[in-house]
Amino acid sequence: DDFEGHGVWRYADALPFAEGVSIQEGATPLYEVPRLEESIGVETLRIKHEGMNPTGSFKDRGMTVGVRVAKELGVGRLACASTGNTSAALAAYGSRGGMETLVLLPAGKVAAGKIAQASLHGARILEVDGNFDACLDIVQELAAKGEAYLLNSLNPFRLEGQKTIGLEILEGFLADYDAVPDRIVLPVGNAGNTSALYKAFRELVQAGELDEDDVPKLTGVQAEGAAPMVEAIENGADEVRRWDDVETRATAIRIGNPVNAPKALPGIRETGGTAVAVSDEEITEAQRDIAGEGIGVEPASAASIAGLRKLRAEGVVDDDERVACLTTGHLLKDPDAAAAAGSEPEPVPADTAGVLASIASERSSE
């Protein structure tokens, strides 16, 4: 159709099909952020804002491929466990493909915008009395019983679509700087993106299109309260220990059992990257910093900036590096977090004199 070859599907050569169930995903902005670049102290910083996808997160890139496969297979019901964004994308792409969708969410731990999307796009929403990892255990069992087609990032076709994030970043840097980035910093939950980007780069190296030494250092960021990958990287462990109790304001990455860890750990290690944990306060501060450049992201996304700032301060990241930070979801996904991080509206009387008096007075801090 008209959208053939747009966004994700511009990279059809790197994908299993030439087209998918599409809502024009991909081709997201790679923003310049000069003030952040200077305050963090790196040579170049660009923000790849995946919040600018059709449903407001990078999940759309995976769903356009995954739902296409499901349609091809003729499955009746699509399902996922989700901290929110996957459920929103599944609901939208499933309904576009004309399929029934079922989502399992951790009760009370999913941001309002995401539930609203899943709901309006017609997903059947089950709120589980447990965390995301428990939801994913259940959905895997449902899939094994043939009750549904699984569209979490365990599904390899999802990750094929998400490879295009890496391809777009490389292309953008090559166009603007004639060089690929030294480092890509990204938030980590289930470690799907980490795995997908690593696969994309390996394929480019194998095809002779990217020098092995030029592969960007994959640098993962987790919230302190949900940091099993960071623990494994710091301990040099081959396996990730499942955390049963997780907590963070960045609910999208409130995950204790990153299922793609076996693929993501080598990706971080072999590219010379690292992983770092940040506090909820650092995440909120970073969300404000990015907002100060006019870019609205949800808390999990701001973790990438918080992590970069921390690694730069520790000297792990050098001042001469060219860095891309991935922001994975839009600010409006989690309006409550945004409102809490921003300033309070000030009540005023309905007359100009009252408004003028308010403007003249000290602005109340949050």
Give the C-alpha separation, 265 to 247, whole Å: 22
What does DSSP assign to residue 316? S
Q: Would you say 129 or 320 has its CB closer to ligand F0G?
A: 129
- Closest-CB residue for ligand F0G? 189
Query: What stretch of H or E contains 77?
Result: strand 77-81
Q: Which two tokens stand for residue 359?
A: 């403007």
322-327 and 44-49 beta bridge pairing: parallel
- 224 CB neighbour count, 10 Å cutoff: 16
Give the C-alpha separation, 51 to 245, whole Å: 28
What is the smallest separation between the CB atom of 10 and ligand F0G, expressed in angstroms? Answer: 21
What is the smallest separation between the CB atom of 196 and ligand F0G, expressed in angstroms? Answer: 7
Q: Would you say 71 or 114 has its CB closer to ligand F0G?
A: 114
Q: Would you say 253 or 268 has its CB closer to ligand F0G?
A: 253
Give the C-alpha separation, 117 to 86, whole Å: 10
Decide if 51 contacts 298 (C-beta within 8 A).
Answer: yes
Torsion-angle region of residue 129: left (phi > 0), alpha (psi -120 to 50) or beta?
beta
Name the nearest CA neighbour of 130 among 189, 83, 79: 83
Q: Would you say 158 or 322 has its CB closer to ligand F0G?
A: 158
Q: Would you say 158 or 312 has its CB closer to ligand F0G?
A: 158
What is the smallest separation between the CB atom of 109 and ligand F0G, expressed in angstroms? Answer: 11
What is the smallest separation between the CB atom of 252 and ligand F0G, expressed in angstroms? Answer: 3
Q: Would you say 184 or 348 has its CB closer to ligand F0G?
A: 184
Q: Applying CB under 6 A, which residues contact ligand F0G?
A: 57, 82-86, 153, 187-193, 252-253, 298, 300-301, 328-329
What is the smallest separation between the CB atom of 25 and ligand F0G, expressed in angstroms? Answer: 15
Name the β-bridge partners of 218: 184
Q: Would you say 99 or 105 has its CB closer to ligand F0G?
A: 105
What is the smallest separation between the CB atom of 292 and ligand F0G, expressed in angstroms? Answer: 20
Q: Which residue has the tokens 């099993």?
A: 228
Note the helical H segments in the chain: 34-40, 59-73, 85-96, 112-120, 132-144, 156-177, 192-206, 228-235, 261-270, 280-291, 299-313, 335-341, 352-360
Q: Would you say 36 or 221 has its CB closer to ligand F0G?
A: 221
What is the smallest separation between the CB atom of 82 and ligand F0G, expressed in angstroms? Answer: 3
What is the smallest separation between the CB atom of 248 and ligand F0G, expressed in angstroms? Answer: 12
Give the C-alpha separation, 228 to 239, whole Å: 10
